[in-house]
Chains A and B, each alone.
Chain A
Amino acid sequence: MDAFQFTLAETLKQAVASGAQSRTAQQGAQVRFVAGGTTLIDLMKLNVERPRQIVDINGLPMDRIVATADGGLILGALARNADVARHPSVERDYAVLSQALLSGASPQLRNMATTGGNLLQRTRCVYFRDPAHACNKREPGTGCSAIDGYNRMHAILGTSEHCIATNPSDQNVALTALEATIQIEGVKGKRTVPIGDFYLLPGSTPERETVLEPGDVITSVTLPAPKPGTNSLYLKLRDRAAYEFALASAAIVIKASGGRIETARVALGGVGTRPWRSLEAERALEGQSANKETFRAAAEEALKDARPQSDNGFKVELAKRCIVRALTMAVATKTA
């Protein structure tokens, strides 16, 4: 681990000013904010992250979970994953988020990891995590070891010839299906970014993963008010029953009445280079009968642009079955 200066941010303004000293807020940042530390400290030990300054933001008052005037919910960026997952409003109105959080990591890690930190969770690509290998995300221009390497865990949607790494988060898949918005405080003041616009595709710049600029601090995530009669659910498929990243996962937010689907939101995890919303699947569901044929048609639509690598062809069919099963379970769930 490289040496760094450690500072405590007493105010949000201080944190923004410290972060603004960095050349980038993306891979290679010289200044990093630390909250839970579960991603950052891990990657610093591997020399994948090498910041010169660590700004501890745990003292900032951003850990509350509060209702909005219009029935939504604001999750403070420092709210711990365990607290969000077990919050009564989240369990009742946003089951998909509670289930996604509880399907990830371990109880210890969920006590540490935060809402904002989880948004910025880095890929588990083994080549990204090992500086002995070429990786365009870690060292732009060096090549992608995964494309010609062992890529069973890698993405099949949103890939480029430069990077095929998956976004590993469960939380972010649920937030995508919930159409959450992200509040950011930066050098130029406050702004709100819909989660659908927050993550970038790798393209030719896989080292850039989000729209964040130097100095930007994520302060909260807002969930829109739940629509009455809506069911939500998270289904995660993985190599073992616990403490493992998704091979494929699906977050569903759906409203069906009289056997007909009124609205549907479908997001996928474990298969995309970013939390993967499938507008194609949603279009194939809305207005149709809630039955297995419709679900399968939606799944086919969601994966029609899939580009499997040498070792992960199985993910195409696995993701389709994950969608069908998740939709079947979601419409069968009794509405709260």
Chain B
Amino acid sequence: MPVVCCAFCAASRIDTRGDSLEKYTTDSELPQNEDGDARERHEILPARVSRRSFLTQLGAAGIAVTAPPALAAKAGTAVLEPDAQEAPALGDAVALTLKVNGKARSLKIDPRTTLLDCLRENLNMPGTKKGCDHGQCGACTVHVNGRRVNSCLSLALMHSRDEITTIEGLGQPGHLHPMQAAFVEHDGYQCGYCTSGQIMSAVALLKEPVGPSDEDVKQAMYGNICRCGAYENIVAAVQAGRSHA
């Protein structure tokens, strides 16, 4: 049997064909048995291993290995707390209905959950990104009642009366918001990690008192840091998006 050291390695065997396979393995028999090996691996892996699902599994495995049993159990119960009969005790999960992208979502969460973590971890909407987690980078920008905010510095429980809009609610492939299309057209990113926050800010400023010049756009966008430094293209994208929106 060929040696598979990790899920990435195994996924590579499934998805890759040809000589390049050899750099992923030390097993000289693999090329001859490629089909059989691939079928075998396919059975034990999800049909497609995404970066997110892989990292999530890796993260869970990491906790199981490193955390003491009591802590692991506590982490597990935080979102699975059964309905309490009395007022929630310190640390208990509490019920919340959050309106996100026009849909009411009911869930139970640890009161400590930020709006950002709630969107990403509880509602499985990873389009909103966690950068600094301290309100200094803007990657987590979402709209609350149409205004842009840093979702990392807000508790989810503070938003039971609000309308939340995330990047997932702006547009989807095939039906992009004009600002999303402008970012694609003008290559307004490099690695892409800050992009959803940049776009949420750019869409919000359409309704803010922002002057017409590039300098005005830079002023209005300074709450969104791009570590790759793609600012030239971001400004061009925002200007194009403003003219099309």
Contact = CB atoms under 8 A, between A and B. Distances in A.
Interface of A: 1, 3-6, 8, 34, 36-38, 41-42, 45, 52, 54, 56, 58-59, 82, 86, 105-109, 111-112, 242-243
Contact of A42 (B153, B155, B158): B153
What 7 pairs across the A-B complex have the smallest Cβ distances?
A106-B223, A3-B91, A242-B222, A6-B111, A111-B147, A108-B223, A41-B153
Interface of B: 88, 90-91, 94, 110-112, 114, 133-136, 138, 141, 144, 147-150, 152-155, 157-158, 160-161, 201, 204-205, 208-209, 219-220, 222-224
A54 B144 CA distance: 21
Contacts of B223: 105-109, 243
B146 to A, nearest CB: 10
Contacts of B149: 108, 111-112
8 contacts: A3-B91, A3-B112, A38-B135, A45-B133, A59-B161, A107-B208, A242-B219, A242-B222
Contacts of A1: 112
User: Which of B94, B112, B160, B161 has the largest count of A CB atoms less than 10 A from its CB?
Assistant: B112
B90 A34 contact: no
B220 A112 contact: no
A317 B199 CA distance: 42
Nearest to B162: A58
A58 B159 CA distance: 10
B150 A5 contact: no
A19 B80 CA distance: 31
Nearest to A59: B161
Nearest to A5: B90
B127 to A, nearest CB: 17
A42 B134 contact: yes
A237 B121 CA distance: 40
B161 A4 contact: no
Contacts of B161: 59
Nearest to B145: A111
Given A107-B208, A242-B219, A37 B112 contact: no
B94 A41 contact: no
Given A42-B135, A112-B150, A4 B111 contact: yes
User: Which of B90, B136, B219, B223 has the largest count of A CB atoms less than 10 A from its CB?
Assistant: B223
Given A108-B138, A111-B149, A3 B111 contact: yes
Given A3-B110, A109-B153, A112-B153, 5 more contacts: A3-B112, A6-B111, A34-B155, A107-B220, A109-B150
Contacts of A54: 111, 155
A5 B94 CA distance: 10
Contact of B209 (A36, A42, A86, A106): A86
Contact of A41 (B141, B154, B222): B154
B138 A45 contact: no
A243 B133 CA distance: 16
A175 to B, nearest CB: 22
Contacts of A106: 135, 138, 150, 222-224
Contact of A56 (B91, B134, B158): B158
B148 A108 contact: yes
A112 B88 CA distance: 28
B155 A41 contact: yes
A36 B144 CA distance: 12
A108 B141 contact: yes
Nearest to B112: A1
B148 A111 contact: yes
A4 B90 contact: yes
A37 B158 contact: yes
B199 to A, nearest CB: 13
A112 B115 CA distance: 13
Contacts of A36: 153
Nearest to B152: A41
User: Which of A36, A106, A108, A242 has the largest count of B CB atoms less than 10 A from its CB?
Assistant: A108
Nearest to A241: B222
Nearest to B150: A108
A242 B144 CA distance: 24
